[in-house]
Amino acid sequence: MDESNAGYLPATDMPRFIREMMEFVQLGEADIAAIRDSAPIVLLARWLRETAAAAVTSEFSYYLLNVGLAHSHRASGPGGTIPAHLMIGAMSLAQTALAGIFDGELEGSEAAAASEAWNKLLLVHLSVLLLGYLPPRRLP
């Protein structure tokens, strides 16, 4: 067991969680550059604006966590909570839409690089969003 994981709760150390997820999906500097280069094509809402800047800051990671918590723990109301499978589906739709946008706006290899980079970053974001749905558990 790695001593640095003893008692580690992912949602309590968002910079570490983001860094580890980026390493897991192999989101590197070339991906960050592809995201920033393709950003003007996808600037829509705050989430996408921040994402386009490849925001992996502590502040933004906690913003994402709050979004996940808000969607998973909304008070009973018109829609109640948003089920996790719909959050995953929405992210998949975003990835598909972005791939189509890149395919229409960028050249072949540039479109592929942008799509791959955005998919990696959106997987990191989805992992943070889903922390709001899962009960806290310490890693071994």
pTM of the predicted structure, to 2 decimals: 0.68
Tens of pLDDT along 17-73?
A: 888 888 988 989 999 898 888 888 776 766 777 777 767 778 888 888 888 887 777
Q: Is residue 139 part of a domain?
A: no
CATH code of 87's domain: 1.10.490.10
In-domain check, residue 136: no
Question: Is 22 inside any structural domain?
Answer: yes
- Flag whether pLDDT at 114 surpasses 90: yes
The whole domain housing 109 covers 12-131
Give the count of domains, the chain.
1
**Does residue 4 lie within any of the structural domains?**
no
Q: Rounded to the nearest 5 degrees, what angle is found at the Cα of 8, between the Cα atoms of 30 and 19?
A: 5
φ/ψ of 17, rounded to 5, equals -60, -45
